Structures are given as C-alpha cells and as structure tokens.
Structure 1
C-alpha cells in the first residue's frame, strides 16, 4: 500500500465521504470487505446532513485518509468531556480492507483525540453481533467494558435493521 496521508474533512469532502461510508457499511459493495453491516442492516449508514453537522461541531472531527490523492478511509473523533473521546465511523474502502489502513486510522484518531481534546481514554460502540470486528478492536487494545447501549432500531437515519435484537457493546482503551 502506498503511504496514506491524513487530514481533517472539509465541507467540500462531504459528497465523496458519504459515498465512501455507504459503500463500506451497506449493500453489495460493502460485502467486498470484511467489516460491513450489510447482513444486519439495510438502508443508509449516514447522510450528508449528519456529516455536515459533524464538520460544524467543534467537539467532533472526521479525519480522512488519502492514498495517492484518493479518499480511501475516514474516522470520526468526538470529545465526550472529562478526558474521554469517542471513535466512530471507522471506514476503509472495501477494496482496500485488510491492508493495514484501519490500524493507521485508529492510530491517527487516538493521536487526534489526545492532541485536540486532551483525551486520556477512547471509547467506541460496536454492534454486539459483530464478533469478528469486536475481536479485531480487542487486538488493537480496546476492551469490553460490560456496558451495552441501545441501537436506534426505529430511526431510519441509521439504517433498517433486519432484526430488532441489535444493541451496541462499549469498548474502551486508555491512551
């Protein structure tokens, strides 16, 4: 893999960012990679309005990964206060998964959380049914906290669940 560069997303990036996220999380294109949710959810993962809201919120940032000028991944970092940041929307182009970019995005997100928000801990939520992905995060140093949070099964902005049994598990890592 060529060297990835990282930068904060800007409003002009939203259309391409939205396409990337949808391609990695939903539909047949997502099944080219191993981290998709296409077997659990239909519909959208996010929309351009939500992405624009993130970009205008000083407590959140989306970092873009580009390889040779092409958008290949992203990750959101959000300040939760009291030294805690949240990692979300970790996305790697399905055709480039398993090449190490996800690890680099996590490293960039953790560094950004520490530098921008003075975070000493990072948390994330993962759908409980995604055991392989949870195990991957555990290998990156994240541990299950025992906490669960409800999945918004009745909010179409986050997808159309194929089962109502979805819930999030919370993982955390000390930075």
Structure 2
C-alpha cells in the first residue's frame, strides 16, 4: 500500500485536482483504471466552480498527495442528524489498486465522525457498476435497499444504489 498525505483541499489545489477527477471518471484515460464511468457517460464529471463548493461549510474535499502530486480525492458532506455522505472518491487511473482509495475512505470516515459528528455514512453508486459496489461492500458498506435516480438526465436513464455504513470511533472499541 502506498503511504500518502491526505489533507483538506484549498482553492489553490483545484486547478491541479480537476484534471485528476476527469481522468479518473471520464474519457479514454479513465479506462486505464477500473473505477471509471467512461463506458456509461461521456460528459465532464465536474468543474472548478462545483469543486469549490465542496471545500468548506457542510462539506470537506480531501485530497491525497505524494509530495506535490495530487493522486485523488474524496468528498464528505454533512447531511444532518448524524448522517454523512461520501462522494467523488477517485484515484488517478494510472495508480489505482495501491491502497490509496482505502486510505481516502478512512480519512473521509474520520472526518465524518470528527467534523460532522456523524454516526453513519452513505454513498450512491451507479447500479451497473457491480465490481465497484462489491469493492465498497468489502470495505464495510452495505446496500440499504434504496435506489435514487442519477442526478442528471441521461439516455438511457441510470439508477444509483444507496450504500450505507455505521461509523464507530475505533478508539472506543474493546
């Protein structure tokens, strides 16, 4: 597993982060990894203005770095009443399968507990992404039984599976 630094993103990080997100989710470069949506969607994944909204308030955008190189990111948002939402988890497709995603999830879960006092976390994954859903299940997430429509209209329509996980403070376990 590659050991990396994980910290909150700043506005100055976003121009370097944005291409990493796009490479991980869309286009031919995304196909170098296994977590992409390139076979399902062809538009851009996000933009700088949207990334900027994820930096503070009820949301944190965490970035993984090796020195000054941004390797990936994850967003964690407060949904109130002890619920946090995990999204935008990505790792540059050329370096996936090195444990970076696992480290980003752990940092996101810690942020959910410590910053938002969350006791549970949820995420959504495109239902056609069976291998990605299975990866999250191996990391403690379970299908909640709920589905949601994809956030933007596409043809054919896509459905999101809701995955959830209780959050426990590991320091309090026996």
TM-score normalised to structure 1 length: 0.92
Ranges in structure 1 where 5+ consecutive residues have no aligned partner: 155-160
Q: 2:112 aligns to what?
A: 113
Q: Give yes or no for contact 1:124–1:171 (8 Å, CA) kept in 2.
A: yes
SS for the counterpart of 1:34 is: coil
Question: How many pairs were matched up?
Answer: 167
SS for the counterpart of 1:65 is: strand
2:165 pairs with 1:173: yes
CA RMSD of the aligned region, Å? 1.1
Q: Cα distance, 1:14 vs. partner?
A: 1.1
What are the residue-to-residue correspondences of 1:45-84 with 2, within 5 Å? 45-55=45-55, 57-84=56-83
Q: 2:128 aligns to what?
A: 129
SS for the counterpart of 1:111 is: helix
Q: Cα distance, 1:164 vs. partner?
A: 1.8
The structure showing larger relative contact order (alpha-carbon pairs under 8 Å, at least 6 residues apart) is 1
Distance in 2 separating the partners of 1:26 and 1:52: 20
Distance in 1 separating the partners of 2:20 and 2:129: 20
Distance in 2 separating the partners of 1:33 and 1:85: 27
Q: 1:158 aligns to what?
A: none
What are the residue-to-residue correspondences of 1:11-50 with 2, within 5 Å? 11-50=11-50
SS for the counterpart of 2:54 is: helix
Q: 2:8 aligns to what?
A: 8
Which 4+ stretches in 1 moved above 4 angstroms? none
Q: Give yes or no for contact 1:125–1:170 (8 Å, CA) kept in 2.
A: yes
